[in-house]
Amino acid sequence: MKQEKHKPLPSVIVQYSSSRFFRLVFGAVTVFLRPKLLTPEQYGIWTLFELIPRYASYLHLGTRDTMRFFIPFYLSRNDYDKTAMIKGSVFTSSLLINILLSCLLVILSLNKGFTIEVRAGFFVMSLIVILLFFMEYYIALLRAYEKFGLIAAST
């Protein structure tokens, strides 16, 4: 990644904190609106579907966290080959596991025993699992390169 001009630390901290705050506020608003808009059965199904991306975020098996610490370590030693190897192996291994889960969800969405809402939910969750993988991987990469301003803007 290109070296960019760093913003002052207090500015980055305020930007990052405010983005996290607004994310929490919008989350709190949806917590109160969702039960009002959904029937009890739909709310229960929604709650179950929410578990899929939450647990899918652990499918990297700790490799993203390791990447966050080893990339700055190897960059400080100017070992760019090792850095590229770490990024590639974390990306590939995590993507394969997420694709496997996504395929399982697509297979479940083809089951005729479920209602159309549940089948659509499984299919949409298969897409969300893949999209969240990319988002979480690149956010971990931005943290490794200490680009907190970009993280705050994306949040």
The answer to pTM > 0.85 is no
Pairwise CA distance, residues 46 & 86, whole Å: 36
Residue-wise pLDDT for 53-90, tens only, equals 999 999 999 999 999 899 999 999 999 999 999 999 99
Burial of 4 (0-12, 13-18, 19+ CB in 10 A): exposed
Residue reference for tokens 């659509």: 120
Do 38 and 50 form a contact (C-beta atoms < 8 A)?
no
Residue-wise pLDDT for 131-148, tens only, equals 999 999 999 999 999 887
